[in-house]
Structure 1
Amino acid sequence: MRDNPPRVITIPAKVESTAQQAVQRQLRVAAYCRVSTDDEEQLTSYEAQQTYYTDKIMGNKDWTMAGIFADEGITGTSARKRPEFLKMIRQCKRKKIDIILTKSISRFARNTVDCLNYIRALRELGIAVIFEKENINTMESDSEILITMLGAFAQAESESISANVRWGKRQAMREGKAIIQYKRLYAYEKGEDGMPQIIPEQADVVRSIYDRYLTGASLRMLKDWLESEQIPNVAGGAEWTISSIRSILTNEKYCGDVLLQKTYISDCISRKVIRNTGQLPMYLVENHHDGIVDRKTFDAVQAEMARRNAGKSPSKKNAPTGMTSYASKYALSERLVCGECGTLYRRCTWSKRGKKRVVWRCVSRLDYGTKYCHNSPSVDEDQLQRSILAAINSAMSRKSTLIRKITGAMEQVLAPIPGESMSLSDIESRLDELNDLTRTLVAKAAHAENPSIYTVQLKEIMDEAAVLKEKRQAIEEQRKSNTQAIRRIEEAAAVMEGVSAEIQEWDETLIRQLVDTVKVVSAEHITVILRGGIQVEQDMI
């Protein structure tokens, strides 16, 4: 037990003296101003805001200048894209600012979430933001409700403006009006008429890139060639990138077309650029300007790129993902297949007692032994090349007969669907007639006492229309496949026309152009399938 009860001593608050209040330091005041665009009229407004805040802060004896932070030509929907705004926030965190002046909430931020987050962070630091237009001081208790509402209005205004701009741009796209970025477009410059104008020396480089790619060069090989020849890139530098070469090969502008809306902005707040893979319509403006390569060459490159990208690796050891890169060094890497299991062959180097021997082996046998492929032989490269050359030369000796076969194959491809008498235009005309009949019957049924009498007729029309649409789809699909087949056949005929009657030496580029597939039937026999479908049986030499 304690003898004395506890005692409470009150320590009074410290009252500042009049003298202390007199020497109280001036408040450090900063100003933030922003204009939305960088045209001349807005820049004048920007300069006027700077002058206004300088006079206002320096004219108040209780304030001292802590800086004027101004972003020009910058969006207000994202703070990340406003360097002066972020610099001001850093100064606040270092306790170098007491008050921030700004014209309005829409000048401070057009993103409600950003606006509130920064205001709350500044309030915790004891820093007030004063919005002059709305007469709001963020240190007051009821300010956040007003700021939330006004910030939402500012964001809604941005979203409305963004929607209007998007509508205007898409309307221009529908009308075929294209805006081309020449800064990164190789071989083109803006002409006096505002249209793309070809740069002759760079256009020759583009044509060489297309030709080399079609003859089997990989993107890496094209990069090495461009740099070894010291050909400057679009920026004038000496180094080329794989992506820039791929862009040249896939950009439709090089055949004279322009594809609009390849990408789009997700929303006006995040402003994330998304590749358009079907979410929105795209607009292709054909024959917009003079092309550097013809459309046939451009389409051939796209088909070749798709063929290379579609390659699957038969080896889990080489490519666990199932994909493999295009093998351009050896022509047989994608053409030599096993006659037993259909798997590709791979080039291998055997070393024995200091001597090296190059052979081609079935990938299935290499990876799994005889589990799936039992009897596929390993083939010596020299022997294989001699045999393939012999097969090609035997075909070339009867070149005229082969070209006649190719012409016949082309005619067969162009033949109409068996049993189909209606052309595509006939089908479209009949569908238009059926649509008119349908509208007429529907109108009659609407005013008839017994509409069911028209049901049978309507069903017959709908059934006929369904059959015609199926025929139309079949013809369109055949046309599409015909285009690809005709291209390959024409390429084969052109190569055979230009090749001499006998090939003496193995040429990787020429083999890629002539040979489609080589099937290893056995150690003594192969089947060589040339482009265009010509098949030659050949004994191993």
Structure 2
Amino acid sequence: MTVTDISREPQKTEVIRLAAYCRVSSKSVDQLHSFAAQIRYYKDYERKNPQYKLVDVYADEGLSGTDMKKRDEQNRLIRDCKLGKIDRVITKSVSRFARNTQELLVALRTLKELGVSIYFEEQGIDSDKMNMEMLVTFPGMAAQQESVNISDHLRRSYQMRMESGEFNCCAPAYGYDLIDGQLVVKEDEAAVIRRIFDLYLQGVGKQNIANILNAEGVPRRYAQKKWYHNTINYVINNERYMGDALLQKKFTTDTLPFRKKKNRGEKPQYYVENSNPSIVSKEVYQAAQELQNSRNVSHKREGEGDYPLTGVLHCPECGRTFRRLSLNGTAYWLCSGKAAGATNCRSRRVREKAVFDTFCLMADKLASHRQDLLGTLIHQLEMMQNRSGESQDKIRQIDKQIADLSAQNLVIARLHTNGVLNATDFAAQSSVISNKINALRLDRKKALAEDEDDELIFTLKSLDDTLAGYVPGAPFSQAIFEEIVRSITVVDNAQLTFHLIGGLTLTEKISENARCRTA
């Protein structure tokens, strides 16, 4: 009798039947190109991994939406899995496979029960190595990583376009329309811009210009109802109006939660001359800058004297502003009405340095707790703003469309990086998608702006953005002070009440012994 030890016989390697799932362009011409590229990619993948036998490539259109019921090829893939034709599925990323978390979870469980594993290349996640409990938490985790990946690719795309001078803008400034990726002068709004420059050069202050426009009922964009000092300041200092562009004034943070921040030197900026049609001449724009500089607007409140506190400090009794007085080299501020003997207000006198130090203490606290204070307030306002059923549904649909278009842009960028798309085709397709996204973002902003709280939310976000770059313990910053403080009420010689942009009111005790933080 012969006994053979079969455990020592060479075992034949089992071939794993592989299916690839992808999404391709919705345009018929691009679709063939994209599908061919996907087939080449997965055929090459099969060649590099001999344990796999490619069964088929399943490709749905890029604009099939978030509902899996609309994805014919994905449904065919699931049917073939149920018929036992497939052992493993490979796909580029979670967003290529599903956008709806609930349906993603159902699909993952279905494949798990059928003994079919799925591998997401970008996230490096293999469902074969996950238990059911991990499957429950996977969609959110993967979606977060996908958001990071998409943002990173879009950021790189914008960066390259800015470096080459091709990037124009995401949303046109007042006075312009964005048509086919190019800024075009909108004459009715351009007339308002020219008038603002004319009034300013005639000596009219920014707040007075805003008052004139408000009194005449001159409309703003996106259903905004009022003009403000900051709005006029933005116009006077926007180089777009003389035909140039400073790119990357703001940037998006690299990690979640993504936030827009003012570029204070963290990222490079690019200046492009003659980037778009001008509304005012360079001579008019430069004249406005020279007038602004002569008034020292960047270091004091316009038309209000030579000091940052001029016109800011107010008496709670008579409502008059405070005036500056220097005694033995120390600057003090006191009620102008009381000082002139015109009122019988209680005597109030505060040291200038004490006001600056007290502002720093208030800003330190606000910056340290801005997420709890501002973040919560902004979120609550946005929730209230979006309670309108029609508005909420509209915004949700726009968000879905933007997500789909962003995913398409990502695919195009990868095809270009991999050499499948040449630079000309990439630029053309990317420009078309970017224009659609920009248009949708404008529609979303209009939908949000239909609510009267939109201006308040915008202002609070500006305050939050400023405080995001504020370092607690830093020296007194006159620029930040002028940016966020509307006025200060001198409650008494021991307390100040700060009235900030966005309607916030905070009271802080004056610390006469506070360390000197002024630069």
TM over 0.5: no
Higher relative contact order (CA 8 A, sep 6+): 2
Specify the structure having the higher radius of gyration (Cα): 1
TM-score normalized with structure 2 length? 0.38
